[in-house]
Each structure stands twice: as C-alpha cells, then as structure tokens.
Amino acid sequence: MKKLNLAIIGQGRSGKDIHGKFYVSEANKFFNVKYVVDADEYRRGVAEEMYPGCKIFSTYQELFAIDDIDLVVNSTFSEMHYPITKDLLLHGFNVLSEKPFARSRYECDDLIRIAKDKGVVLAVFQQTFLAPFYLFAKELIASGKIGELKQVSLNYSNFKRRWDWQTLLKRCAGSAYNTGPHPIGMALGFLDFADDAKVVYSKLDTTVTSGDGDDFCKIIIARPNGPLADVEIHATDAYTDYNLKLIGSKGTFKATPQKYSLTYIVDGENPDRQVVEGFLENKDRKPAYCSEELIKHTEEGEFGGTAFDIGTASLYEQLYYKISEGKPMDVTAEMASRIIGVIEEVHAANKLPVLF
C-alpha cells in the first residue's frame, strides 16, 4: 500500500494531539506527513522532531507551489475553517477540515459546491460517527432488542471552567460549536438525518466561562411520530454518569465511550395484564398499587476503543480509499452541514451578547 502525502495546517491540541497522535501510530498505514504549517516557530520545531523529514512552513499559502500533496488537513482556529478550506479547495486540494465545519449552513454548502466543481474530495473530521459505542448503539436499535426507539439522551457535560479562545463567540466557539458537533451529530444520526427532524426547543447561556460563548447548551430535536433527541452540554453539571442513553419501548441502553449497561424485556416472558378500571385491591380488600417483578435481562460490556483512536483511524482509512479509489465515506460533508445548520438555528434563537 502506497501512502499518500499529507500536509497539515495547525499544530495545536487537535492538530498535534489528535491528528498527530494518529500519524505517528502503527494504525497509520495510509498517510505520510510531508508538510506541516504553523504560525508559531516553537511548534514548527516540535513538528520537525515529531515527523522526521517533513518540511515546515509558517503560512498555508506556501503549499500552493507544491504539486505532490494528496491531502491537506485544516486544523486551524474554528473561525478559520471556512476561509482556509475554501482557499485550499479553489487551489485544487483534497481537504479534511476539523469541526466545526463552518459557522453557517451557507458556508458549509458553499464548500461542498466548490469541491464538486473542482472535482476534489472534501471531508470533515466528525470521527464520533465511527466510534465503537455509537456503532454499537446503532446496531442495537436495528436489532429491535430495546424495541421502538422513543428517546435519545446525549449528555456531554462536566463541571469545569474554560478561559481559552474556545470561549469566544467571535472565534466561532462556545459549547455548541466546540463540543456540539459530536452529540448533535449523533442525535441527527439516531433520527436518521431525516428531513422532518426539527429543533423543537433550545437554550444557550453562560455560567462559569470567562468568555462570552455558551457553556450551557440544551437542544431537543424531534421527528413527528418518531423519537426525540435531548442534547445537553453544561459546564456546571457535576452528576453525569453517561454520554449516551437510549430509551426504547422494551428497554434502556446507557453508555460512555468506554462501557455500557443494558436492561430490557423479551416478548412473551411477561404476560399481558388486563386493565382494571376501578380500584385495585389485594386479597384482604385493602387498596393496592400496581406491583410486579418484571422478568428483565441485563447486560454490561466494554468497548475496545473510542472516537479518538478507533474512530480517527477509521475515518482516515475511509478517506484514503475515497481519495485513491473513489469509495464512499460513511461520514459525509453533507452530514456535517446539517449539524452546523442545527447549531446556527440554535444560536439565532438564543442571541448571546458579543463582549469581546
């Protein structure tokens, strides 16, 4: 297998600690990091040590004179994803953009249009769609084990303060844009990205952040005659023990990216009960309450990886074959555009004052 040549722009937390971690791992059989761009001199030096033999640049425009780049990864500040990706696409590069894809649905669809016009590949780093716990949950729903899906709860909360650039509205930041693409994306995924899936309630607010971006985010997405998805990303929620919960007509699934618990009933094991229209009474004619011990089944298990290892490797593998053989990817730019559409709508309905 011949590796493709890769250039990455940005060596911050994502560029170095997520993408870079994959590039130097044994799982990377697909890409050779040949060019690295970062405005900071120190980080360029770190990159030279991390990727032996790579060439370093201080501006991404220097890549335009190079003709052996198969993929450019845009891992810059969030507000730079759209303009830099657009510039790269117009210059004929295949591009993988970090999330958030852009600030608005218009910007996302503009990039998709340009990529099609130029005949290049455009992908978005939404690797949670390939994480083991998400794929397991999708298979569980399809199996019917928990019955008809009624509600999806996604909670990506904690009790922490932030004071970095990702707390600033002007930088396309705050919880909805920073963390939101993962749980909002999964919410839409569990609702099959249906056209009739709509935001029915949302609230953005600030609690302990030092910036003006939201650190309290509540979004409910629902389908008529279908399930609803409840997304929470709060900075002052100290009591969360799951990231994903599925409630079906026959059971409940609760999971973190590392492990899960499952409780469900099986058809036929609990005989139907006839409705009593009057008072319930026990043998002594004393008032009674509905009481029974359902026959329930429980399961627990662990996942062999997360979005940051298995998911990352899977996305890059799919991207390799998309570029080299034209094979379709499970995670598309159109999906990422829908996600940004939800975030844009929520921000429009919950105007926060820009203070910086």
pLDDT at 285: 85
Query: Rounded distance, CA 347 to CA 166, Å?
Result: 16
Instruction: Look up residue 258 and give its DSSP letter.
Output: S
Where would I find the H helices in the chain?
A: 13-14, 21-23, 41-50, 81-90, 105-118, 132-143, 175-178, 181-190, 312-325, 333-349
- Torsion angle, CA of 331/336/342/347, rounded to 10 degrees? 140
Which of 266, 271, 236 lies closest to 249 in space, CA to CA? 266
Residue 58: the pLDDT is 98
DSSP string, 211-239: SSS-SEEEEEEE-TTS-EEEEEEESB---
Taking alpha carbons only, the member of 217, 116, 141, 131 closest to residue 173 is 217
pLDDT computed for residue 278 by the predictor: 86
Query: Which residue numbers in the chain have pLDDT < 70?
Result: none
pLDDT in the model for residue 168: 98
Query: In this predicted structure, what is the pLDDT of residue 236?
Result: 98
DSSP class of residue 315 equals: H
Q: How far apart are CA 3 and CA 320, in angstroms?
A: 9
Residue 1 confidence (pLDDT)? 82
Coil, strand or helix: which one is 245? strand
CA distance 28 to 60: 24
In the chain, what are the domains? 4-125 (3.40.50.720), 126-268+298-356 (3.30.360.10)
Q: What is the pLDDT of residue 116?
A: 98
At 314, give phi and psi (nearest 5°): -65, -40
Say how far apart CA 271 and CA 207 lie, in whole Å: 49
Q: What is the pLDDT of residue 292?
A: 87
Q: Which pLDDT value is given to residue 174? A: 97
pTM of this structure: 0.95
> What is the C-alpha separation between 303 and 311, in angstroms, rounded?
12
